[in-house]
Amino acid sequence: MTKFELLAPCHFGLESVLKREITDLGYEITEVENGRVTFRGDASAVARANIFLRTAERVLLKVGDFEAKSFDELFEETKAIPWEEYLPKDGKCWVKKASSINSKLFSTSDIQRIMKRALANRMQDAYHMDRMPETGEEFPLRVFFLKDRCVVGIDTSGDSLHKRGYRLMQGAAPITETLAAALILLTPWHPDRILVDPFCGSGTFPIEAAMIAAGIAPGMNRSFVAESWNHLIPKKCWYDAIDEAQDMVKEDAVCDIQGYDIDPDIIKVARENAERAGVDHLIHFQQRPVDQLSHPKKYGFIITNPPYGERLEEKKALPAIYRALGERFRNLDDWSMFMITSYEKAEKDIGRKADKNRKIYNGMLKTYFYSFMGKKPPKRRIETPKTEG
């Protein structure tokens, strides 16, 4: 089967998590850059990456990688890509999104226009046509310019992979599903440990954790644009990947995951989202303010996305919120806490310096993921069977 070079964008600062996911799927990593990981795989890798990767934003089929400092160079390099190997005669292909950083070519609309003309010329020559009919399947392109280097990928996902299909409604300051999953995977949390999100909003952290616990692949219940590319990705690849995902679901999964929020309406939304995700039986949602956070058991985890105070009126309430969180955390017995926030006085108001913090860009917003580590539980003793002598 033909080998492809595939490119998976992710949140800046979380490349290591995505790299581990791709490696666990069995694929060879060829490059790790800021905000993306490149790897090799066959047609089945396109289906499996889309269905199984929790932390990638999308999966792109990489078709071009070249330097272009002028629009003439961009035209010629784009035309040199063997588009006819990827697109059928009637394929609809266009540059859906272009980005440019520290490059001589910075007008994204001009980049889109020039590249569209170049690929049209190539297709017309290859198929001996006067014009591209573009009546067939869609092949959206994503183009990245960085320091005059241009990387071109055909988007196999369509809608961003954070759209799992369960979150129809959300709170005022939601965290994306892909970011939530990546942050959970950054922690040492395991499904046999307690997890509480005291600012759960529409339930993204608890739902993503429950999906991990139950072995539910994030792309099981959605469609992808590449499903119709039968000349490149045989239908069997998608059927096999879905069968694999269904075999991995743990019907008997048991865990202690809880989500609290002060807003009763958003708790209702969280329950509905969890039901759509198929994990409502694994999560306890409750209306509860942060100053009532408690749990009788030891060695639990808080993983949360507290208010940032982006609006002026919210900023005034932040010190009290973070002080309450810090106080309740200190009263939990040997727990660990992981928190993403852009609030600069988070550590001061919580009353403890974080053991680690990692800079992460949530969209264009610079945030920090703070780790407050508790004690590890004692290792379980494994009884060795006695042998009769």
What are the boundaries of each domain within the chain?
4-154, 177-216+248-372
User: CA 268 to CA 272: how far, in whole Å?
Assistant: 6
- Report CA torsion sign: 293, 363, 64, 119: positive
DSSP E strand boundaries for the chain? 4-9, 28-33, 36-41, 60-67, 92-101, 138-146, 149-155, 195-197, 257-261, 283-287, 301-304, 336-341, 356-362, 365-372
Q: At residue 370, what is the residue type? A: Y
Which runs of E-coded beta strand occur in 175-229?
195-197
Residues 130-146: pLDDT tens digits? 999 999 999 999 999 99
51-55, 255-259, 365-369: the lowest-pLDDT one: 365-369
pLDDT at 254: 95
Give the residue from 363, 353, 361, 289 showing the smallest Cα distance to 324: 289
Q: Is the pLDDT of residue 388 over 60?
A: no
Tokens standing for residue 4: 């492809």
pLDDT band at residue 313, thresholds of 50, 70 and 90?
low
Question: What does the pLDDT read at residue 381?
Answer: 64
Confidence (pTM): 0.93
Supply the pLDDT for residue 385. Answer: 57
Does pLDDT of 1 surpass 70? no
The whole-angstrom distance between residue 203's C-alpha and the CA centroid of its chain comes to: 16
**In the CATH hierarchy, which top-level class contains the domain 4-154?**
alpha beta
Q: How confident is the model at residue 312 (pLDDT cuts 50, 70, 90)?
A: low
pLDDT average, residue stretch 64-91:
97
Q: Tell me what pLDDT residue 365 has.
A: 85
**Which of 3.50.50.60, 2.70.170.10, 3.40.50.150, 3.40.190.10 is the CATH number of 177-216+248-372?**
3.40.50.150
